[in-house]
Amino acid sequence: MPGMREAFLSTMDRMLDEDPRVAVVLADISAASLADAARRHPDRVINVGIREQALVGVAGGLALAGMRPVVHTFPSFLVERPYEQVKLDLAHQGAGAVLVSWGGSYDMPTAGRTHQSPGDVALIDTIPGWTVHVPGHPDEAVAVLRDALPGDDMVYLRLSGQSNAHPRPGPGMQVVREGTRGVVLAVGPMLDRVLAATDGLDVTVLYATTVRPFDGATLRSAVTGAADVVLVEPYLAGTSAHQVSEALSDVPHRLRALGVRRDVEVRRYGDVADHDLAHGLDEASIAAAVKAFLDRA
Amino acid sequence: MRTGDAPTRALGYADLPRLIAAMRGDEKHSGAAESTVDVLWVLYDRVLNVSPATADDPARDRFLLSKGHGPMAYYAVLAAKGFLDPAELPGWAGSDSRLGMHPDRVLVPGVEISSGSLGHGLALGAGMVFGLRARGLTEPKVVVLTGDAELDEGSNHEAIALAGRASMAQLTVVVVDNQSATHGWPGGIAQRFAVEGWATRTVDGRDHDALHDAFTTPHPDRPLCVVAVVEPKGS
């Protein structure tokens, strides 16, 4: 099965043929994969070279000229490096774009900190008006991408090399399993390991591909017994904690937020599994964290 | 216009000092505003194909004030050309005004980009040209105004190289040079653009005919940089 990045690129190759409003903006990353499309649509596949401020600025100008820009590179270079361009050249202009990153928090573990961006969603979350999708399967990625292209709004699509076995496309939060002792919310690629980690526990498991807007209504209605929530996000721990607090503002509740650790920079290479372990995002660590949290109730 | 109203007299260059004075207070960027007034007037009066009636026309020319500081001259020209009501100017930067110390395109009619943070206009302008090209609109001009100190921002140099290599004949950058860059530009500003494949002209930024010539001399296969030299800041 092709991964999310390949699914994204092949979808864009087709969508450039189908929708004359769509333009893809690149900064060398993935340019070779769209070389064919660039030959067919030289005006709408724009590789700015290794210039990430221009990458986002050009996207803003394209949108202001009536196009639908799709902007793609690694999250470090799409959100962190040109953060001010994301804030000003898109949001402040009232200009939309679909920003598509691939690389997650540590999909390139041997590349080190320069290619890790666990803070991307938190950064985007500082700017009003963004829709944020964190698909857990390539089919979900294609579905939200196809939905985003006809619009004019600001969409961040966070693709990763980590994936669940089966797609669960759909808006908002889905109830995957029902229980009474608490709620575990798994975001994107975290679902399969959350299901395994909570196997046999009397908890509700919710799943979300789309985290902004945050489906607080579904979370609130899932809290029927104990208002104990475990949030499992594949990026910076607690990125959605404020959304959980808001959704449960009318009920006393407890929250445990799992994700990429904030307390240290993990200076380690190895493979993705090593980093899952270092951040407590492997199945066993999640299981231990959920049990300890419920037992303290 | 209501029936019976007298036609409004068209405002001209001679009205700009009065319009700017309507905004004067303790605005600390007033020097920057003055430095751009002749460039802005020549553009809106004689170069740009845009008016209040065509402000939403996809084929209009576009002016991008990248250097958002000191927008008094800009607001004054927009008022003189009918985009703004001159009566709106005195309340500028107040809590009920649409007119801020830095212009906001979402609020102000005729303003193409929101600016204030330096170094954003060139890439936005290049993106607009890419977008116009993709829509088959190869006639409209995109004119971006920067300052010589604004060129300190590295983001400009990403866009200068990109636009040069993309042969953007629709793009003009006018650099209002009041010699305010802290470390200067040895060899001249135009050289930074020329080496990236731009046509360049360096003219007196107070000479309306020279500015007009610079903006309208053909540059069919490459972007154009006009360096408009004015008196040094603070002089």
Residue-averaged pLDDT of chain B = 93
Nearest to B134 among A44, A49, A64 (CB): A44
Per-residue pLDDT, averaged over B171-180, amounts to 97
Contact by Cβ (8 Å): B185, B148:
yes
Q: Is a pLDDT exceeding 50 seen at residue B5?
A: no
Task: Give residue A127's pLDDT.
Answer: 98
Å between A167 CA and nearest CA of chain B: 35
Task: Give residue B234's pLDDT.
Answer: 82
Convert the pLDDT of each residue in B178-208 to its tens digit: 999 999 999 999 999 999 999 999 999 999 9
Closest CA to A64 of B49, B105, B108: B105
Contact residues, chain A, for B125 at CB < 8 Å: 61
Task: Give residue B33's pLDDT.
Answer: 57
Contact B114 A92 (CB under 8 A): yes
Q: Is a pLDDT exceeding 60 seen at residue B41?
A: yes
Task: Give residue A222's pLDDT.
Answer: 96
Token pair for residue B57? 């026309």
Question: In the Cβ-directed half-sphere of B187, how many Cα atoms lie within 13 Å?
Answer: 6
First to last CA, chain A: 42
* CB neighbourhood size of B3 (10 A): 4
Task: Give residue B1's pLDDT.
Answer: 36
Contact by Cβ (8 Å): B112, B64:
yes
Task: Give residue B8's pLDDT.
Answer: 60
Contact B134 A61 (CB under 8 A): no
Contact by Cβ (8 Å): A234, A257:
no
Give the separation between CA A137 and CA A190, rounded to whole angstroms: 11
Token pair for residue A238? 């607690």
For residue A157, the cross-strand partners are: A100, A133
Per-residue pLDDT, averaged over A11-25, amounts to 98
Encode A61-93: b = buried (16+ Cβ within 10 Å), e = exposed. Answer: bbbbbebbbbbbbbbbbbbbbbbbbbbbbbbbb
Q: Is a pLDDT exceeding 80 seen at residue A1?
A: no
CA B86 to chain centre: 19
Tell me phi and psi for residue B142, to 5 degrees.
-120, 120
Contact residues, chain A, for B127 at CB < 8 Å: 57-65, 69
Task: Give residue A154's pLDDT.
Answer: 98
Per-residue pLDDT, averaged over A194-213, amounts to 98
For A90, which residue in chain B has the nearest alpha carbon?
Answer: B124
Residue-averaged pLDDT of chain A = 97
Give the separation between CA A179 and CA B169, rounded to whole angstroms: 64
Give the separation between CA A143 and CA A141, rounded to whole angstroms: 5
Per-residue pLDDT, averaged over A264-273, amounts to 96
Residue with tokens 């445990």: A256
Task: Give residue B7's pLDDT.
Answer: 47
Q: Is a pLDDT exceeding 70 seen at residue A250?
A: yes
Per-residue pLDDT, averaged over B141-156, amounts to 98
Give the separation between CA B27 and CA B30, rounded to whole angstroms: 6
- Per-residue pLDDT band at B29 (split at 50, 70, 90): very low
Tell me phi and psi for residue B155, to 5 degrees.
-60, -35
Contact B155 A58 (CB under 8 A): no
Convert the pLDDT of each residue in A114-166 to its tens digit: 999 999 999 999 999 999 999 999 999 999 999 999 999 999 999 999 999 99
Q: Is a pLDDT exceeding 50 seen at residue B3?
A: no
Give the separation between CA A35 and CA A39, rounded to whole angstroms: 6
Contact B131 A62 (CB under 8 A): yes
Per-residue pLDDT, averaged over B83-103, amounts to 96
Q: Is a pLDDT exceeding 80 seen at residue B28?
A: no
Per-residue pLDDT, averaged over B66-87, amounts to 95
Taking CB atoms within 8 Å and a gap of at least 24, the contacts of B184-193 are B185/B148, B185/B151, B188/B227, B189/B148, B189/B151, B189/B225, B189/B227, B190/B225, B190/B227, B192/B151, B192/B157, B192/B160, B193/B160, B193/B164, B193/B223, B193/B225
Q: Alpha carbon of A163 to those of A2, A139, B134: distances in Å? A: 11, 10, 36
Contact residues, chain B, for A96 at CB < 8 Å: none
Contact B134 A60 (CB under 8 A): no
- Find out whether the peptide bond into A213 is cis, omega within 30 degrees of 0: yes
Task: Give residue B34's pLDDT.
Answer: 81
Q: Is a pLDDT exceeding 70 seen at residue B31?
A: no
For B159, which residue in chain A has the nearest alpha carbon?
Answer: A54
- Per-residue pLDDT band at B125 (split at 50, 70, 90): very high
Task: Give residue B235's pLDDT.
Answer: 76
Residue with tokens 């004359």: A20
Residue with tokens 């500028």: B92
